[in-house]
Amino acid sequence: MTSKIIFSSNNLGVITDDQLQGMLNKFNLGRLISSKNTEQGVMKQTRYVFSTEGEFVFKGNPLYPGQLIEEKFFVEELHKRTTVNVPIPYLLDDTDDIFGWSYSLMPRLPGEHLNSNRLSSNLNQKDKFKIAGLIAETLLESHSWKVSHYGDLDTKDLTLRPFEGSYATWLYNRIRYWLNDAKKYSQITNEDVVWVEAILENAKCTFESLSSPTFVMGDFKPGNFLLHGGSNELHISGVFDFTNAYFGDPISDLIKMMTIYIDKEEIEVAKYLLSHYLDGSVEKEEYKQRLQVHMLHQRILDWGCAKAIRMVTWDDNLAFSDWAARYTDTLAKLID
C-alpha cells in the first residue's frame, strides 16, 4: 500500500482536550498542557501535543488500513539498521475507543524545516551546500537498508510483498497510467506521448538489469525532515512520514529535492547534492537514464495534480513535454 499514490486527506477534525488527556493517560505521558496544529503536515493528520512529560507529535485518522502500522515498522527498522534520526519510540494505539480511529504518538524532534521562513532566510551559499551534502549522506544511510526483492510492505504480517512482474514493468506501467490519467484534466498530445516513450525506451535496458533494491522513503522533501544546530554543527535531526515508503531504486529519493533546487535555479547546489550522493560513480550514463525516468514520473504526477485542482504555477500554455523537459534535461547536464 505504501507505494500507492495518495492525493486524498483524512483530517483530524475536532479534537478535545479530554480526548488528548485520555491518550496521554494510556501511555503514562503526564498531564496535558496544550496542543496546536503542526506547521506543515500537508495531509493534516498531525498535531503537536505538549504535556508535563514532554513534547509529542500526534498522528491519526489513517488514510488507509495499515498506514500507521507500516510507518511504525519503517521507523523502528530504520532506527535499528541505520543512523538516521527518526522519531523513537513510535507509540501506536490501533483501537478506536478514544478518537474513533487509530493513532500514533511520537516524540517531537528538535529543529526546523528547510523551507521555514526563519531558516531559509538566513542561509548563505555555504550553508546551502552543507545542507545538500547532509541530504545526500542521510539518503545514502537510509538506502544502506537493502532487501532481496522490489516491492512494498504487507502490513498483515510485516513481510515484503514483491511487485507483480519486474520492477521495470511496475514503474513503467505506473508512469503510463498517470500520464493517461492526466488526460482527464489537461491536454496531453501525441507529441507528448512520443517524448515520454522515448525516455522510457532509452532507459529500458538499464532498469531491466537493476538488481539491488533498497528502502526508498518515496517522499523526501523539506516538510519531512528537520535541520538543527548552528552553521558549524548543522545536522539533519529528524526524518519522518513514511506513508510512501517501499523497496525500489534508491536514487528516486533524490528527485523531489532536485526539483526544488531546479525551480529555485540553485543549479550548483543541485549538482553538489547529486555528485555527493553518487561520489564519483563511473556508471554516469545509467544514473542519468534512471534519474530522467524518475523525474519524468514525478513531473507527470505534479502536472496531473496541478491541472486537476487548477493550481498551475507555471505558464498554462506550455505543452507537457516542453514543461517537463526543463527538468529532465537539467538532470542530464548535471550528471555529465
30 and 103 share one domain: yes
| Domains of the chain: total | 2
Per-position DSSP letters for 134-190, written without gaps between them: HHHHHHHHHTT-B-SSSEEEETTTTEEEEPSS-HHHHHHHHHHHHHHHHTTTS---H
Residue where one domain finishes, among candidates 107, 137, 164: 107
Which residues form the domain of 87? Answer: 17-107
- Higher-confidence residue: 176 or 3? 176
- Across the chain, mean pLDDT equals 93
Same domain? 95 vs 131: no
**Residue 169 shares a structural domain with residue 316:** yes
- Residue 214 pLDDT: 97
Q: What is the pLDDT of residue 1?
A: 45
> Both 177 and 246 in a single domain?
yes
Is residue 128 pLDDT above 60, yes or no? yes
Residues 6+ apart with CB under 8 A from 183: none
Q: Which of 124, 29, 137 is nearest to 85 (CA)?
A: 137
What's the pLDDT score for residue 44?
Answer: 74
Specify the CATH number for the domain of residue 124: 3.90.1200.10
Q: CA-to-CA distance for 35 and 29, rounded, in angstroms?
A: 14
Confidence (pLDDT) at 171:
97
**92 shares its domain with 173:** no
- Beta-strand ranges (E) seen in the chain are 32-37, 46-51, 54-60, 91-93, 103-107, 151-154, 159-162, 214-216, 225-228, 235-239, 246-248
pLDDT in tens, 37-78: 887 654 578 999 999 999 999 999 888 889 999 999 999 999
Whichever domain contains 55, its CATH number is 3.30.200.20
The mean per-residue pLDDT over the stretch 307-325 comes to 95
Q: What is the mean pLDDT of residues 9-32?
A: 92
Establish whether the linkage from the previous residue to 110 is cis, with ω within 30° of 0.
Answer: no
Evaluate whether residue 12 is within a structural domain.
no
Residue 148 within a domain: yes
- With a CB cutoff of 8 Å and minimum separation 6, the contacts of 97 are none
Question: Could you tell me if residue 294 is inside a domain?
Answer: yes
For the cut 50, the answer to whether the pLDDT of residue 259 exceeds it is yes
Q: Quick check: 205 pLDDT over 50?
A: yes
